[in-house]
Amino acid sequence: SLFSVALQEKQNSMTKKLPSDSVINLDHGDPKMFEPYWQKMGDKCTVVISGWQSLSYFSDITNLCWFLEPELVEEIRRLHHLVANAEIEGHYIVVGTGSTQLFQAALYALSSPDSAEPINVVSAVPYYSSYQAVTDFLRSGLYRWAGDAYKYKGDQPYIELVTSPNNPDGFIREAVINGSGGKLIHDLAYYWPHYTPITTPADHDLMLFTVSKCTGHAGSRIGWALVKDKEVAKKMTKFIELNTIGVSKDSQLRAAKILKAVSDSCRQDYDNFFDYGRGLMAKRWERLRSVIGRNGLFSLPEYPMEFCNFFGELTEAHPAFAWLKSEEEESKDTESFLRAHKILTRSGKHFGVDTTYLRISMLDREETFDLLLQRLSNMSSKGRENG
Ligand code: PMP
C-alpha cells in the first residue's frame, strides 16, 4: 500500500547502515520494528508535561488502584473494546511498571502468607524464560518455581502461568493442569491482531497485557492487569505500593496517548496500526520461511489459519519470535552455532527444553532482520560446499 511505501522510505532515511560484519543481537524481544510507524505519526503522540504537573503520588483515590491515571483507564478500555481481545467488564485494572512487575504482584496476591510451604509456580514447556528467573530471584517464602506444568503431580496448591500466544513458540495455549487447588495467570502480551488471529475475547481471572508488545513502547515500562477478584486486585495494588509506591505518571500519560493513537488509527484504512503490523510481520515470516526452507538446517512451527474477528477474515499467526529446531545432529548446540555466525539468540534450555531449539526475535529493525536472513542463507551454501 501507499502507506507501506511511505514508511519504507522513512525507514531508509532513518537508519544508519549497519556494518555487514556486526554482531546482531536477537536474544531479547526488543520491539524496535515499529519505529518507522511511530516516526510517521509525527507529533500525534507527543506528550508535553509541564514542570508543575504529575507531582502527586496519587492519580485517583476513588479507584482501587489509586495510582492508575484515568486517561490510561479510558484508553485501555477503548482499545480492548475495539480489538475484542479481552473482556474488560467485570475486571479491575491494575497498572504496573511493565507486566513484569504485575507478574510479581500476581504471585504475591495469589499466594497465602499463612501457608507452611511456598506455593508452586509452574508453566508448560517451552515456557517464557523470565518466569523462572523472576520467581526464584528473591528466594521468597511465599512461592517457588516448580517447572514444567505437564509434569506437575502434587496435590498442593499451585499457580499455573499460561502464555497465549506462547513465548517462545507462538502457539495459542490453555491451562494444562486439571487440578482444583490451582490459580491461573494468563499472560496475553502477544494476544493482538498483528501477531495472531483474535478468535474470542479472553475472559480469565487474571490477565496480563503490556504496551511493550502491543505498540512497541517497551521503554515506557507500562503494563496492565485485568483482574476479576477484588481482593486479588487489592493485594496486587498493595504489592506495587510497597515495591515502587505506584507507577510513573509520565509513562502512563504517554502510554494513554499511544494507545489512543492506535485506537484512532483503527478507524481508518490508511494507517491502521494492526494492519500495518500484520503486514510487516507477515512479510518477515514469509522471507524467513523461504530462507529456512532452502537451507535445510532448521525447521519452524506451522500455525493454523483461523478467522480473526478483528480483521474479519482468515489469518495466520506471525509470532514475535521464531522458534527454530535444529534438523542436524552436529549443530546440536544451536545457540553456539549461530553465535559463531555473529547471531545472538536464546537457547531452548532457558525455556525448559534442550539446546536443539532456539528462539530468535522477529521484532528488531529491518536492516538487522535483513542481516539475519543473509547470514542464514550463507550458512546453507557453506554447508553444501563442505558436502
Ligand atoms: N510476558 C511475556 C510473555 C513477554 O514475552 C514479555 C517480554 N519479553 C513480558 C511479559 C514482559 O513485558 P514487560 O515489558 O511489560 O515487562
Please name the residue whose Cα sits nearest to atom 4 of ligand 1: 189
Q: What is the pLDDT of residue 331?
A: 54
Average confidence (pLDDT) over 167-191: 95
The mean pLDDT of the chain is 93
Mutate to test the pocket of ligand 1, among 209, 212, 321 (most ligand atoms within 8 A of CB): 212
Quick one: how far is CA 323 from the chain centroid? 15
Tell whether the model's pLDDT for residue 1 goes beyond 70: no
Residue 223's Cβ-count burial label (10 Å; 0-12, 13-18, 19+) is buried
Average confidence (pLDDT) over 367-375: 96
pLDDT-based confidence at 385, cuts 50/70/90?
very low
∠ CA 81-82-85, nearest 5°, is 70
pLDDT tens for residues 53-104?
Answer: 999 999 999 999 999 999 999 999 999 999 999 999 999 999 999 999 999 9
DSSP assignment string, 113-144? TT-SSPEEEEEPSS--HHHHHHHHTTT-SSEE
pLDDT tens for residues 277-291?
Answer: 999 999 999 999 999
Alpha carbon of 232 to ligand 1 centroid (Å) = 21
Question: What domains sit in the chain, N to C, each tagged with a CATH number?
Answer: 2-41+273-385 (3.90.1150.10), 70-265 (3.40.640.10)
Residue 293 dihedral angles phi and psi, to the nearest 5°: -60, -40
Tell whether the model's pLDDT for residue 317 goes beyond 80: yes
CA–CA separation, 116 vs 366, rounded Å?
Answer: 52
Q: What is the pLDDT of residue 381?
A: 43
Q: What is the pLDDT of residue 11?
A: 66
Pairwise pLDDT comparison (381 vs 99), residue with the higher score: 99
Give residue ranges with CB within 6 A of ligand 1.
29, 98-100, 128, 163, 167, 187, 189, 210, 212, 218, 223
Pairwise pLDDT comparison (211 vs 15), residue with the higher score: 211
CA–CA separation, 86 vs 187, rounded Å?
Answer: 12
∠ CA 379-383-384, nearest 5°, is 120
Average confidence (pLDDT) over 123-136: 97
**Ligand 1 nearest atom to the CA of residue 103, by list position:** 10
Alpha carbon of 1 to ligand 1 centroid (Å) = 31
Q: How much of the chain, in percent, has pLDDT values that exceed 90?
A: 86
- Number of residues written out for the chain: 387
**Ligand 1 nearest atom to the CA of residue 128, by list position:** 3
Q: What is the pLDDT of residue 7?
A: 73
Average confidence (pLDDT) over 27-39: 95
Q: What is the pLDDT of residue 178?
A: 87
Alpha carbon of 82 to ligand 1 centroid (Å) = 22
CA–CA separation, 82 vs 66, rounded Å?
Answer: 26
pLDDT tens for residues 342-358?
Answer: 999 999 999 999 999 99
* Structure-block grid coordinates of residue 309: 474477528
